[in-house]
């Protein structure tokens, strides 16, 4: 499964209405920690079908960024059944992300 890069048009269907838990990553192309996190998310996405990894570029989606009150990137939200169950700001190592996703 490939990481989905989404926008306002498909946010609800891909995140809030998803049948699988979602790891939602707000990122920026100019952000160093975002690039490091992106590599971890690509590994996780390749290794599991248990959840969906979705990325939103804050510069291309200012309205979603504002709605979700994202002021720092990377900002990660762990979503199940359309509800935020956990969140984190900044780079997280792979084992921490795996544990958070398993706890959903």
SS3 annotation, 27-82: ECCCCHHHHHHHHHHHHHHHHCCCCEEEEEECCCCHHHHHHCCCCCCCEEEEEECC
CATH of residue 95: 3.40.30.10
Find out whether 40 and 74 touch, Cβ atoms under 8 Å. Answer: no
Count of C-beta atoms within a 10 Å radius of residue 70:
20
Which residue of the set 24, 34, 54, 73 is catalytic? 34
Give the range of the structural domain holding residue 96, as residue numbers without chain letter. 4-102
To the query of whether residue 31 is one of the catalytic residues in this protein, the response is yes
**Vertex 88, ends 82 and 91: CA angle to 5°?**
130
Whole-angstrom Cα distance, residue 19 to residue 32? 31
Question: What pTM was estimated for this model as a whole?
Answer: 0.94
Count of C-beta atoms within a 10 Å radius of residue 34:
22
To the query of whether residue 76 is one of the catalytic residues in this protein, the response is no
Number of domains, the chain:
1
Whole-angstrom Cα distance, residue 58 to residue 93? 22
Which residue of the set 3, 4, 28, 31 is catalytic? 31
pLDDT tens, N- to C-terminus, the chain (104 residues) = 689 999 999 999 999 999 999 999 999 999 999 999 999 999 999 998 899 999 999 999 999 999 999 999 999 999 999 999 999 999 999 999 999 999 98
């Amino acid at each position: 499964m490939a990481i989905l890069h989404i926008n306002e048009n498909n946010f609800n269907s891909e995140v809030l209405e998803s049948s699988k838990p979602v790891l939602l990553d707000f990122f920026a192309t100019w952000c160093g920690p975002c690039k490091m996190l992106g590599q971890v998310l690509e590994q996780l996405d390749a290794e599991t079908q248990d959840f969906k990894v979705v990325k939103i570029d804050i510069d291309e989606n200012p309205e979603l960024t504002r709605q979700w009150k994202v002021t720092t990137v990377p900002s990660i939200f762990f979503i199940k059944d359309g509800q935020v169950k956990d969140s984190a700001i900044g780079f997280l190592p792979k084992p921490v992300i795996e544990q958070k996703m398993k706890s959903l």
